Homo-oligomer: A and B are copies of this chain.
Amino acid sequence: MRPSLLALSLTLAAAGAHADEGMWLPSQLPQIATQLRDAGFEGDPASLADLTRPPLNAVVKVGGGTGAFVSDQGLVLTNHHVAFGVIQYNTSPERDLIANGFVAADRGDELPANPDFRVLVTTGFDQVTDRVLADARGRTGRAYYDAVDAAEKALVAECEQQPGYRCSVANMHYGSDFYLVRQLELRDVRLVYAPPEAVGNYGDEVDNFMWPRHSGDFTLLRAYVAPDGQPAAYSPDNVPYVPPAHLQVSTDAVAAGDFAMLAGYPGRTYRHRMASEFASQVEWTLPERVALYGGLIETVEAAIGSDADARVKYASTLAGLENGLKRAEGELDGLRRSNAVATRQADEEAMLAWLADQPAARATRADITAAQALLDETEATRERDQLLGAIARFPQLLGSAMRLQRLALERGKPDAQRESGYQQRDAALIEGGLKQVQRRYAERVEKALLVDLLTQYVALPPAQHVPEFDAVFGGTPEQVRANVDALYAGTTLDEEAERLRWFNATPEEVAQADDPLLQAAARLQPALLRLESEDKQRAGELLRLRPSYMEALIGYRESRGEAVYPDANSTLRVSYGQVSTMDPRDGVRYLPLTTVAGIVEKHTGVAPFDAPRPLLDAIAAGDFGSTADPDLGTQTVNLLTNLDTTGGNSGSPVLDASGQLIGLNFDSNWEAVSASWKFDPRYKRAIHVDMRYMRWLMAKVYPAPHLLAEMDLPVE
């Protein structure tokens, strides 16, 4: 049996390539204790090793991001943008909490969050690799995939039998190790303190991903439980949750070079992907995405023309395409600038050279070769896969028809055997999506978009063609146009009532539907299922084979005295580094602390630079009290560090050398968009709210002395 790779990597005194790179599992921290201390950490790294014990269990999942308990009465600090849904839920024309912010005068004044909002406290994190892989071992491909999937579902179902808990299985190092994560699910969350949007989201999309920033992107919530201490839905009888630990907001100054440490739930990184995957991302995926999205934007724009109604309906689609385009361009620029492909290639070659000298590594080498062959194989149809992905994603009516047909198919099975996303628990989401269509659909635009994608599809070489698609849409641009016209002329899926009728129909009724789009979707479905099955076959093989690649990589790193953190997978990670300048280009330096002067500089009076009058007045008054920066002689706003973060780290607490809370992560810089693939120490930075800004706002601008007192902070 293969030894635990994670255990292997944990035995190392890590001397990673870059001191600042790393999304470490807490259990790895004792092994990198020397580096942590060298970087300036004053605590005991061993105290951070268990994420289910204090202080790391003060760090929680909040909504779609991260947060932390900051009092012993369940007060949770997270980003304004993470808690935005809660603020919006409590906003009405009469009481605009988005515009005006909110300060709960006392506990009774705190406002219940939307019922689906959650705070999750991790209480278990146990290795379950053997159980997950027990049935999979000896199998290959689709069977391996299904065995892992079934084992994970069984573990989760078993774990969730305990009321009040939500469970999941986390997969480390691409199938090398599996952990069962058990989280206490706090369902009564209330809004306690939010700055006005013009403070909490100052700069909005204009400043997004940009430094220097001037945003007070924080909000305070409070978690409540039933009087018996158990998680419960909102009730006026509930009491504040007493967390197992909470963080202390610092009252010290912060300066460039200071040690900083961040804990949170980063979503996905790809840094340990194989060299060929790096090359594919840079040389094909990203440039093709740029081309595809750029073309779709032109097509949609041309189809909208001067139709104001269509413009409104496609505003969100266009914004999504433009955002995707911008991100792809940014990621491409970053990966090229960092020379990511060549660096990963040289690293992999060195690893393989090392591996060739290892005893008994023949099976490992064979697995790596097989994985490489599988990746090469997927490239044969990547153009088609990209186009079919876009066809399933962008057209609203065709997409609805496909979802209705798939739903009909899945409903024919017992719930537990249905595909994820089509189970009973997913029904509300599907129904909501079918209702949404109306707000994002105009026939002329959808047809133009679909014809654009299908025209690209018919131009593909025969080897990439799918018979069912050819049969439904034809083999020439002219046939495509005629077929799309006919499908949309005959369908009634543009009516919400019709879509919901089919949503509620029996599988047999859907199968016999006379709607041309539903019929087309029925003819396409075998192809989609076949392609999905091929995907799972490959995914299963990769899940089986990649652990050999990771074993080699970790072994190679070990030979150089370096530890390897698993790629991010939404589990709790810790990164450490410094409050840091950044030189974005020759001759320009970003300073690591912004000040309130920048708020005034940016202020135009027009959103997103419409600083509220009380804030401008307080800045002009210059009464910064205990929160002023001693060196700068003014009030700081945001902090820049070189901490390693990615999406999901929103709301992550940033701690100083003594473990006190100095910042709240809310963004990273544009140059770091490519960091999900490659950490480049010159360009990777994270952007935080300086806790002194929060303290000043709560002391002087939108006062909440009772909350400062609850957090053991000075009230001025």
On A, residues with C-beta under 8 Å from B are 211-214, 583, 585-591, 593-595, 597-598, 601, 638
Contact = CB atoms under 8 A, between A and B. Distances in A.
Residue of A214, A587, A595 with most partner-chain B CB within 10 A:
A587
Contacts of A214: 586
A589 B586 contact: no
B598 A591 contact: no
Contacts of A590: 587-589
Contact of A601 (B211, B585, B601): B585
A593 to B, nearest CB: 7
A598 B589 CA distance: 13
Nearest to A597: B586
A623 to B, nearest CB: 19
Contact of A591 (B211, B588, B594, B638): B588
Nearest to A584: B588
Nearest to A599: B586
A211 B589 CA distance: 12
A31 to B, nearest CB: 35
B601 A593 contact: no
A212 B212 CA distance: 18
A212 B594 contact: no
Nearest to A640: B587
Contacts of A595: 586-587
Contacts of A586: 212, 214, 594-595, 597-598, 601
A12 B638 CA distance: 47
A584 to B, nearest CB: 9
B598 A593 contact: no
Given A212-B585, A212-B587, A587-B598, 7 more contacts: A212-B586, A586-B594, A586-B595, A586-B598, A587-B591, A587-B594, A588-B589
16 contacts: A212-B586, A212-B587, A212-B588, A213-B587, A214-B586, A583-B591, A585-B598, A586-B594, A586-B601, A587-B594, A587-B638, A588-B588, A588-B589, A588-B590, A589-B589, A589-B591
A593 B589 CA distance: 12
A100 to B, nearest CB: 26
Residue of A583, A588, A590 with most partner-chain B CB within 10 A:
A588
Nearest to A593: B587
A601 B586 CA distance: 8
Residue of A589, A590, A597 with most partner-chain B CB within 10 A:
A589
A618 B211 CA distance: 33
A687 to B, nearest CB: 11
Please list the 8 inter-chain residue pairs (A to B) with the smallest Cβ-Cβ separation, ordered nearest first.
Answer: A212-B587, A586-B598, A587-B594, A589-B589, A586-B597, A587-B591, A586-B594, A586-B595
A583 B591 CA distance: 10
Contacts of A211: 587
Contacts of A598: 585-587
Residue of A213, A586, A591, A593 with most partner-chain B CB within 10 A:
A586
A654 B181 CA distance: 66
Contacts of A583: 591
Contacts of A585: 212, 598, 601
Nearest to A213: B587
A649 B211 CA distance: 34
Nearest to A589: B589
A541 to B, nearest CB: 42
Contacts of A594: 586-587
A593 B588 CA distance: 10
A594 B586 CA distance: 6
A263 to B, nearest CB: 26
A593 B587 CA distance: 6
A281 to B, nearest CB: 23
A185 B320 CA distance: 66
Nearest to A211: B587
A590 to B, nearest CB: 6
A597 B584 CA distance: 12
A203 to B, nearest CB: 12
Nearest to A585: B601
Contacts of A638: 587
Contacts of A212: 585-588
A595 B583 CA distance: 13
A334 B108 CA distance: 51
A579 to B, nearest CB: 13
Residue of A213, A214, A585 with most partner-chain B CB within 10 A:
A585
A97 B589 CA distance: 36
A200 to B, nearest CB: 19
A588 B593 CA distance: 10
A589 B583 CA distance: 9
A256 B212 CA distance: 23
A660 to B, nearest CB: 24
A678 B278 CA distance: 53
A202 to B, nearest CB: 12
A634 to B, nearest CB: 10
A208 to B, nearest CB: 16
A598 B593 CA distance: 25
Nearest to A594: B587
A618 B590 CA distance: 29
A589 B585 CA distance: 11
A397 to B, nearest CB: 39
A583 B212 CA distance: 12
A298 B594 CA distance: 40
A593 B586 CA distance: 9
Nearest to A337: B601
A601 B213 CA distance: 24
A164 to B, nearest CB: 45
A216 to B, nearest CB: 15
A669 to B, nearest CB: 12
A337 B491 CA distance: 60
A256 to B, nearest CB: 12
Contacts of A601: 585-586
A190 B285 CA distance: 56
A327 to B, nearest CB: 22
A587 B585 CA distance: 15
A230 B520 CA distance: 95
